[in-house]
Amino acid sequence: MSTVEIRAKVHQMIDEVDHALLEAIHAMLETYQKREEDPIIGYEVDGRPITTSTLEEQADEAMGQVARGEYITLAELEKESE
């Protein structure tokens, strides 16, 4: 089948699916598009994807915390863990 034929068949099939499957297809396509725009570079422990932009935001926040002095030293951590 050509790309045009596949697209036409997929459109027809989508018009006939129930709501639950339509939502699943929608989520899958959104994930695919986001992956192209903002690649997935890892996953959280619960399985949620981590994208490049998310990691950049987390890194910026961590650097801000360090700049504001919101951290503990290794000596403080060792003392706290005793």
Write the CB contacts of 22 (distance below 8 Å, at least 6 apart in sequence). Answer: 14
* Residue 11 pLDDT exceeds 80: yes
pLDDT band at 34 (very low <50, low <70, confident <90, very high): low
Q: Where are the domains of the chain?
A: 1-37, 40-82
* Residue 35 pLDDT exceeds 70: no
* Residue 1 pLDDT exceeds 80: yes
Pick from 30, 29, 60, 58: nearest CA to 44? 58
* pTM, to two decimals: 0.48
Q: pLDDT digit string (tens) for 42-65?
A: 899 999 888 888 999 999 999 999
* Residue 15 pLDDT exceeds 80: yes
